[in-house]
Structure 1
Amino acid sequence: MTLIGDGARLVDVTSGRTLEHDELVREVNRIVEALSALPEGVLFARVPIGLTGLLRYLGAFEAQRAVALIDPALGAESLGKLIVRFQPGAVLGAPDAAPPAGYRAEGEDWVRTATEGVRPHPDLAVLLATSGSTGAPQFARLSRRAVLTNAHAIAEVLGIGPDDVAPTSLPPHYSYGMSVLNSHLAHGATVVIEPSGILGRPFWDAVTGSGCTSIAAVPYHYEMLRRLDFDPARYPRLRALTQAGGRLRPDLVTEFDTRMRSAGGGLYVMYGQTEAAPRMATMPAEQLAYKPASVGPAMPGGQFGIRQNDGSETTHPKITGEVIYRGPNVMMGYAEDAAGLARGDELGGVLPTGDLGYLDEDGYLFVTGRLKRIGKVFGNRINLDDLEQAARTIGLGIDIVAAIPAGDKVVLFAEGIAKDVSKQASRALGELLHLHASGFDVRPIDVVPLLASGKIDYQALTELI
């Protein structure tokens, strides 16, 4: 199977160029041929929102070269550490800098000088970084089957077809952004490439001008759209808003559900993890008004179970425990270095999610919390206890600190720090954890509140956000 279905096309707003299906296939095949000459090993592809970056990804996938999608904003030092650990055959779209030792510059790429390297497992297709909260990121290893089956399952539940048009509201190195691209192209739809982001005026001009039919957004975006008094009726072809990347506040679910239904469309609340390539559930828009707290049933081909305290698993309704997902889209496992890329499937299609929840009598999932103190930064799961420890080690005088999840970012209250330290700390944490600094909102506070037991009063801090 291919990611480029019949009729699929790319529209690049920046250049004004449209790649109809046949030309898109020719461009991708040209890249496939070029990639075949690169040294063996995983390929690192820096993928900004742009035509060149998306073609790099599609070319690597169609060439059946394992490709790690790298945030182009990743700092040179962090990128260098990843290169040392994973020894990629090449870095596609390399930074404008001298290549590291063992690599040579070829056009826009860095190519490894040694032709022999660790050969990835033949099933391995895509690697996405997940936050190693101790500062050592790892990659989720997604097979070709996992990526393709999830793309087709998403398209099935959302009814994506050749008439659909989706803008690049999220970057492709983020699993949600990748899934939008995959699900639309695989079913012959159009992807409109517009890099300014969902809060930029050019983005909405592109939505109007290209007749976009759906928009994907994370909770932060919905908060901003509410402030901007977003009205879907202004966009006559818009029929669907999708939401993932963290829990959306119930009042916003209700509000955007109402707005979309009044405009003849629907809001689709989705649940997933990078480790599931990435979607595991989608709430049907027509059911949202009746079950606004649910994330819906499992994706086609998937199944949820609830693991109880005694280790047994059940699908009986109203029993709360850890959510277990089974499906063909579950990752093969993690890789922490080049040797890990050669390993086969270690999970057998079973993913313990780390989330607490229950199923209702219709098999709809309700997520109620976390097994551990976990937050999400742009879809990446972060252990908040480890994050607090990391904040204490970045050399900025932070000692007493409390981390609170806040949608698709984490707020850290740091006792007694100066205001000018806050931005420095955000940047340092972003660099340490290989995520954008805006995902870490470090705020000074005079005194971190404590419970009578002497433990941090996290609930009191949550009320300050």
Structure 2
Amino acid sequence: MTLLHPGARLIDAATGAVVVPHATGAFADAPPGVVFLRMPTTVDAVLRYVDAFESGRPLALLDPALPAEVLTDFVDRFEPAVVAGPLPDEAPKGYRVDGDRWVRESPAAAAHPDLAVLLATSGSTGNPKLVRLSRAAILANTASIVAALGITGDDVAISSLPFYYSFGMSVLNTHLAAGATLVVEADGLLGRPFWPAVNTFGVTSLALVPSQYEILKRLRFDPAKYPALRTLTQAGGRLRPELVEDFHGRMSAVSGRLFVMYGQTEAAPRLTTLPADRLAEKLGSVGPAVPGGRLSVRLDDGTETTGADVRGEVLYRGPNVMLGYAETAADLARGDDQGGLLETGDLGHLDADGYLYIDGRLKRFGKVFGVRLNLDDIEGMLPGPAAAVAGDDKIVVFVAQDGNDPSRLRQDLADRLKLHWSGFEVRSVAALPLLSNGKVDYRALEAAR
């Protein structure tokens, strides 16, 4: 199976140019090994990605805004054959400058023949690992999502998410494979050219993460202003149920659809899809497993179940599960460490129909007066965007400024959890810090607690 359908098209939003994606031979002259591709939102970057994938060259997709020292650390740790631009002017030791590339002067790290794509785990600091994805995993998940969302050659998406982020990569892959069109627009949701491009090029679907839905609510988004836009998709974290209802209502009013999904980079990346026509009756769910996948829950005693309303760690099995992680160059040559099993690290439960509900993260806990509290549950008790982190014997909650009184919110939490108010600290911030993929930057909040 190939990633490229002959009907697929790219549109450069800045110029209106229509490009047929194709292999360009961009890395044909490069020495063997992994390509590190800094991936800006441009047609040229997409063509490089397509070229590497279709020619069987493994590549890592990196944030083009990575600080130079972080990029150098990646290069030192993983010994790629080529690093492609945009790049700092000076190449690191052991590499020579070749146009907008750095080329390794000694043999690069060996890569396993199944390896296709490497993606960094969330965040650009803290020594992130790389997720090793095979060609088979990428193609399997691409086919599953095309089927689950009913993507056809008539669909037109727009680059509302960066391509180096797994959800953004998935939007790109599914539209390439379905023979659909992708509008490549570099300024993003809040950029002046974005919404005119949605209308100019007849965008039919928009993929967003929760923080972007919060933005659209503040902007009083009205889908009726965009006649072709009839599908919204959401992944990348939990969207507040009231916003799910809100945007479901907005889209239904124009005969449109909202799909809620759950994914992890380690699954290439989507695991579930909630059908739009069942959203109202399954509010709070992220849906059943994508075609070809299987969900279960592991209990504290290690047993697995698919029984209804039993809470435990969510497990997923499917052909889209990663090969494993890479922390050093030697790991790039490793084969399949997972055997198709992904231990998600999320707490959840299934209902009688096999629909998944996420209840929080296994490690997202704090203690107050000896009582263990789920930080995700605490965030759900607060109005509007909020993020909770564990402090020293207290929970520190950051809330985006929206007229709420921090003292009142602190007392409300104490009352609901039946604990003394001194176990909580609530701080107002202009906005929650976000990673480049739109998720809350908990590391920054932990540093500020």
TM category, shorter: 0.7 to 0.9
Residue 309 of structure 1 and its aligned partner are, at CA, apart by: 1.2
CA distance in 2, matches of 1:101, 1:362: 56
| Larger helix percent | 1
Q: Taking structure 1 as reference, are residues 445 and 275 closer, same or farther at Cα in structure 2, changes over 3 Å only?
A: closer
CA distance in 2, matches of 1:107, 1:211: 36
Q: Taking structure 1 as reference, are residues 316 and 444 closer, same or farther at Cα in structure 2, changes over 3 Å only?
A: closer
The match for 2:408 is: none
What SS class does the counterpart of residue 201 from structure 1 fall into?
Answer: coil
Q: Taking structure 1 as reference, are residues 403 and 88 closer, same or farther at Cα in structure 2, changes over 3 Å only?
A: farther
Residue 131 of structure 1 and its aligned partner are, at CA, apart by: 4.0
The match for 2:368 is: none
1:42 aligns with 2:34: yes
Residue 443 of structure 1 and its aligned partner are, at CA, apart by: 7.2
CA distance in 2, matches of 1:58, 1:345: 24
How many residues are paired up? 401
Residue 2 of structure 1 and its aligned partner are, at CA, apart by: 1.4
What SS class does the counterpart of residue 260 from structure 1 fall into?
Answer: helix
Cα offsets for 1:398-435 (capped at 9, x unmatched): x999665889xxxxxxxxxxx9xx99xx79xx8xxx98
Q: How does 1:304-319 map to 2 (within 5 A)?
A: 304-319=295-310
Q: Which moved more, 1:246-255 or 1:48-57?
A: 48-57
The match for 2:11 is: 11
Residue 236 of structure 1 and its aligned partner are, at CA, apart by: 1.2
Structure 1, unmatched stretches of 5+, are 377-381, 389-398, 408-418, 449-465
Letter in 1 for 2:73: K
1:343 aligns with 2:345: no
Q: How does 1:373-384 map to 2 (within 5 A)?
A: 373=364
Structure 2 residue corresponding to 1:178, chosen from 159, 162, 169: 169
* Contact residue 150 and residue 277 of structure 1 kept, 8 A: yes
The match for 1:455 is: none
1:331 aligns with 2:319: no
Q: Taking structure 1 as reference, are residues 165 and 6 closer, same or farther at Cα in structure 2, changes over 3 Å only?
A: same
Letter in 2 for 1:214: S
Structure 2 residue corresponding to 1:439, chosen from 436, 441, 446: 441
The match for 2:193 is: 202
Letter in 2 for 1:42: V
Structure 2, unmatched stretches of 5+, are 366-374, 377-386, 401-426
Residue 137 of structure 1 and its aligned partner are, at CA, apart by: 1.0
The match for 2:153 is: 162
Q: Taking structure 1 as reference, are residues 444 and 81 closer, same or farther at Cα in structure 2, changes over 3 Å only?
A: closer
Q: Taking structure 1 as reference, are residues 9 and 321 closer, same or farther at Cα in structure 2, changes over 3 Å only?
A: same
Structure 2 residue corresponding to 1:361, chosen from 352, 362, 371: 352
1:71 aligns with 2:63: yes
Structure 2 residue corresponding to 1:321, chosen from 308, 312, 316: 312
Q: Taking structure 1 as reference, are residues 195 and 260 closer, same or farther at Cα in structure 2, changes over 3 Å only?
A: same
The match for 1:416 is: none
Cα offsets for 1:420-463 (capped at 9, x unmatched): xx99xx79xx8xxx9899836967999x7xxxxxxxxxxxxxxx
Letter in 2 for 1:41: G
* Contact residue 305 and residue 314 of structure 1 kept, 8 A: yes
CA distance in 1, matches of 2:344, 2:93: 39
Using structure 1 for the length normalisation, give the TM-score.
0.80
What SS class does the counterpart of residue 166 from structure 1 fall into?
Answer: strand
The match for 1:216 is: 207
Using structure 2 for the length normalisation, give the TM-score.
0.83
* Contact residue 276 and residue 329 of structure 1 kept, 8 A: yes
What SS class does the counterpart of residue 227 from structure 2 fall into?
Answer: coil
Q: Taking structure 1 as reference, are residues 442 and 346 closer, same or farther at Cα in structure 2, changes over 3 Å only?
A: closer
* Contact residue 74 and residue 435 of structure 1 kept, 8 A: no
The match for 2:223 is: 232
CA distance in 1, matches of 2:91, 2:332: 23
Letter in 2 for 1:10: L
CA distance in 2, matches of 1:35, 1:228: 43
What SS class does the counterpart of residue 44 from structure 1 fall into?
Answer: strand
The match for 1:268 is: 259
CA distance in 2, matches of 1:330, 1:442: 29
Residue 318 of structure 1 and its aligned partner are, at CA, apart by: 1.1
CA distance in 2, matches of 1:9, 1:230: 28
CA distance in 1, matches of 2:18, 2:185: 13
